[in-house]
A and B are shown apart, each in its own frame.
Chain A
Amino acid sequence: MEPWVILAGYAFSLMKFQSYDSQRGQAGLGEEKMEHREQSFTSSAAKQLALYAFYTMVALAVIMYMLSIAAGRTGSTASGVAVDPDNNSITIALRQEPPQLDHVRATDSSSIIVLSHSMEGLIAYNDAGSLIPGMAERWEIREDGATFWIREEARWSDGVPVTAHDFVFSWRRAVDPATAAEYSFILYPIVNAEEINQGNLPPQTLGVRAVNDRVLEVDFNQPTPYFDKLVAFITYFPTREDFFNNTEGRYGADADMMLANGPYIVTEWTHSASMTWEKNPYYWNDEKGFLDTINVGYITEDVNAKLNLFKDGQISDTHLVAPMLGSAMEQRWQIDRSMDGTVFFLQLNFREDRITANKNFRKALQYAQDPVEFVYKALKEPSYLPAVSLFPYWIRGVDDSFRKEYPPPEHEFNVAKAREHLELARQELGIEEFPPLVILADDSPIGSISSEYYQATFTKNLGLEIRIDKQIFKQRLAKMTAGDFDIVVSGWGPDYDDALTFGDLFASWNLNNRGRYASEAMDEQIRIAQSELDPLRRMEAFAEIQRIVHEDVVMIPMYERGWSFVVDPRLKGFKRRAVGPEVDYNFAYIETGEE
């Protein structure tokens, strides 16, 4: 409060001056020159002004104090420090406010981050990203179904044991069309799931049952060798029936409407502002959840704000975008990188009235562009990889990485060949001039750069007229669904750690195949990939899908997204993941230094 004291002293001296001035003012000022008088008027008025300024400052301080109390009531950011070894806590920032934290209906990355810390499925990931037992201590996956044995020490955050019934309840709820869960499709391998989801059967007919409190039985429609990877996904997490019913439809809406069975409990949730996660005392695994408290101090999408917070020691980690790298080097930070899992590509429209339905035309587009130049020159992101396949490089094959076992067909950037194919397309279509082509893009910065770059590239190399159609999120989706585009800048992220999460994207029956690509050969391979039990034959099917995507130009790969990021050097064990939560603090701990 020192400045106030100084100001007060100043004001006091002013008051004294003022009285002196006014006395002087009354004593025959008239003899002095006009100019002089003006000046003394100015200075005494200025002093008066300063006095008023002081009064208003005091008043302002009082008002601000009151406003500050009011603001405290609106709920706000927990102003902690990035890493606090004394309290064993850290402060982080989330990119977006989770729409709600009902694991069955959650779809976005923020919700997945929170739920992956507060909950755990039958099977979980370890710090290296491999599957380890979670709520289930062991399991068995057969051709016609699976059995999970739930561990005895599995507890909810109120101490009640987690039982097989919680899973049955949760999974039935997920496929019930009344729940309207977007991720219900992920349960389709289970008997009757799809029928229930379409409203043809009651939820009770779902092929899952609790043999007793600790044994869960699942029946498959067809062999599902990757089911262990599926159950690690949030939709497969458990919900306890009595707790759910008590929330009266507000399950996951607030901190007290959630029940945790993971390493952390969401104890506070001020919407759009902050959250607090505290260590769950009932959590069974002592290899996870080392911190006492994780404060989500900030919810902001603004990467510049996050960088500034990190620089200021307010948050423990942040990711960097290309323009920040220069100053990050200057700060002498240790910059790390990781893959995000998402593959971005130009999706083409295969509806009959579109030119992009012509194979030679698609070939022309394919030859005319170079994702390497796009990533290194236009995007300038060191952690991005130029994409060469539908399958990102971290996908596992039989024994090693899939891409090593089955290298994707090589892309060739060749303008001359592109023009040949364009000429063939012109003849096949019997047209003189190609009509303008529409590139649909979202309104993100990268969406803009992508569409601008590809517009320039196709115009330069093929002489085509390209029109950019930049739309906000929902409008772009509506246009994609309606097929109102020729090319759309889009991406696909993994839901589970198996090649199929990418592999079935272009199945003729997949609703997410918004370009309506349909081919017998593709569908056949996808069916094999879905149900084949032999890993080798399954991977061969994926290799075939990879080849078809390239050969038939189903889409044009752009890049595999990655992250350049910085972490407070005292925080160890922090992970950024391709599958599962984008940022993972489950294994994070604070290094105390002298040991």
Chain B
Amino acid sequence: MTDIHVSDFRPLQRRSDVHGISRPSLSYWEDAWIRLKANKRAIVSLYLVVALLFFTLLGPLIWTVDPGLQDLDQISQPPGTDRSAEIVADYIAWDGVDPSAGSGARVIDVPTTQVVRLKWDSLPGANGHRVYRNLFPVGNEFAYGIPVGEYFDNAIDFHEDRLDLKPGRYFYSIVALAADGSVTQTYQTVEVDVVRVTTLSEAREQGLIQTDSDLQIGDSINLSAHPLGTDYLGRDMLSRLMAGAQVSLSIGIGAPLFFVFFGVVFGSVAGFIGGKVDQFMMRFADFVVALPFLLFMILFKIAFGIGPGESGIMPMLIALVLLMWPATARLVRGQILQIREQAYVQASQLLGAKTNYLIFRHMLPNTLGVVLVTLTFEIPKAIFVEAFLSFIGMGVAPPTPSWGSMSNEGIKTMLTTPHELIFPAVFISITVLAFNLLGDGLRDALDARMRNQE
């Protein structure tokens, strides 16, 4: 047995790596970020959200077309339409004289998108004539097309069609009317190829040519470009989508920001004070929750009213904030109540921490994760509410565009010009989807207990 002596021992040399932490220290947020990055869907969604914000904020700086400018030469134009047009003189009314003195149903002058001039000889047995326009030949069903003009007087034998003319082929029919004004099966058809034209004044209006330009009647010109086409008043879809994004997103993101903030304040005050005050405050929140949401949304929306020239964003924001805060308030209160019982908070309290310190140092930062997740999930809801209100005609006021009101307009023309519905609807869908998936990702990343198992 060897004796162990004190001298056998000597102090260990101080080494820095003993108490050090072998891995880099990760804060809660850094940890969450790493987890979020591992979630592919969430990251793609995050990129989408960033892209949407770019589209909304920087888009109008790059694509500077005025969203309110009406290009009446290009109404409801799908994207990628040929835009070359010939310049013609301003429209002058026609007195119905045919310089060539032809006969039968015929076209006078070159048929253009400005005007198609038709002349005919009175049909046998007619008590007046109706002028029809069709995209197809008449055929056996006597489907003449759309009635564009009607004359109960046989003396009138000419018609000027200016109704929404598009370049392409039309079949015009002159149909004899019976004595009681009904349509007969006596008709003459004329086939017309319409060419796209514009006028000098219109081209100047659209900023296509300078005032000192030497372009003349008969020259060809390219009409203004609309990458995503135009709407029913010839307004540029792309710039309207950008302007609409500003409206939809300022409601969709703005409102949740406000009401989540309010909910946080309300909930944390209630949770922190506790007791009677808490009871009272939460009872009030219960009342607000009990209000039928959509009904009150509509009611508030019209109660706040939209003044002349206003966009109507504010009333919608206020109504949303008034009705949607209690969910966050409840959530935050629950969190605060939980955290209040935590040991570290009690320790901090014993160490003499002030109320402010407790709230801002311990409570709020620890609820931030939950709040962030809620915020992300409330955004798609708010965007849908905006779209819904637009659908029932209580959305933003014209001429302000929003994605909701644009899709609502687009639904009416769904079959003929689907692009007017598809673009705004796709933007709504992408936004809603991106925020939903981002919310999922955030929830998984921020709160281990709420995590999806995958």
A, B from the same assembly: yes
Query: Using a CB–CB distance below 8 Å, which chain A residues touch chain B?
Result: 127-128, 304, 321-330, 332-337, 372-373, 376-378, 380, 382-383, 436, 438-440, 443-445, 448-449, 451-453, 455-456, 460, 467-472, 475, 564
Residues of A within 8 A of B361 (CB): none
Residues of A within 8 A of B374 (CB): none
State whether A470 touches B397 (Cβ < 8 A): yes
State whether B309 touches A475 (Cβ < 8 A): no
CB closest chain-A residue, reference B393: A443
Given contacts A334-B143, A376-B163, A451-B398, contact A323 B412 (CB under 8 A): yes
Given contacts A468-B309, A469-B307, A469-B308, contact A325 B398 (CB under 8 A): no
State whether B144 touches A335 (Cβ < 8 A): yes
State whether A452 touches B398 (Cβ < 8 A): yes
Residues of A within 8 A of B150 (CB): 337
Q: How far is the CB of B123 from chain A (nearest CB, A)?
A: 18
State whether B147 touches A335 (Cβ < 8 A): yes
**B142, B164, B233: the one within 8 Å of A334 (CB):** B142
Q: How far is the CB of B170 from chain A (nearest CB, A)?
A: 10
Residues of A within 8 A of B412 (CB): 304, 321, 323, 445
Q: Does B411 contact A (CB under 8 A)?
A: yes
**A327, A444, A468: the one within 8 Å of B416 (CB):** A327
Give Cα A564 to B132, complex, Å. Answer: 12
CB closest chain-B residue, reference A472: B302
Q: Does B136 contact A (CB under 8 A)?
A: yes
Residues of B within 8 A of A330 (CB): 135-136
Give B394-431 as 1s and 0s: 1 = Cβ < 8 Å from A's Cβ atoms: 10011100000000010111111100000000000000
Residues of B within 8 A of A372 (CB): 162
Residues of A within 8 A of B233 (CB): 378, 449, 452-453, 456
Q: How far is the CB of A352 from chain B (nearest CB, A)?
A: 20
Given contacts A382-B163, A443-B393, A449-B232, contact A468 B205 (CB under 8 A): no
Interface SS of chain B: loop
Given contacts A334-B144, A453-B70, A460-B205, contact A380 B415 (CB under 8 A): no
State whether B398 touches A380 (Cβ < 8 A): no
State whether A564 touches B147 (Cβ < 8 A): yes
Residues of B within 8 A of A322 (CB): 164
Give Cα A323 to B147, complex, Å. Answer: 15
Give Cα A445 to B412, complex, Å. Answer: 10
Residues of A within 8 A of B59 (CB): none
Residues of B within 8 A of A452 (CB): 233, 398-399
CB closest chain-A residue, reference B417: A323
State whether A327 touches B398 (Cβ < 8 A): no
Give Cα A324 to B234, complex, Å. Answer: 18
Give Cα A402 to B275, complex, Å. Answer: 81
Sample (18) of A-B pairs whose CB atoms are under 8 Å apart: A323-B414, A323-B417, A329-B143, A330-B135, A334-B141, A335-B132, A376-B162, A377-B72, A377-B234, A382-B147, A382-B163, A439-B308, A445-B409, A449-B232, A451-B398, A456-B68, A468-B397, A470-B397
CB closest chain-A residue, reference B165: A376
Residues of A within 8 A of B139 (CB): 332
State whether B72 touches A326 (Cβ < 8 A): no
Q: Does B337 contact A (CB under 8 A)?
A: no
State whether A329 touches B146 (Cβ < 8 A): yes
Give Cα A334 to B164, complex, Å. Answer: 20
**B309, B398, B416: the one within 8 Å of A438 (CB):** B309
Residues of B within 8 A of A472 (CB): 302, 394
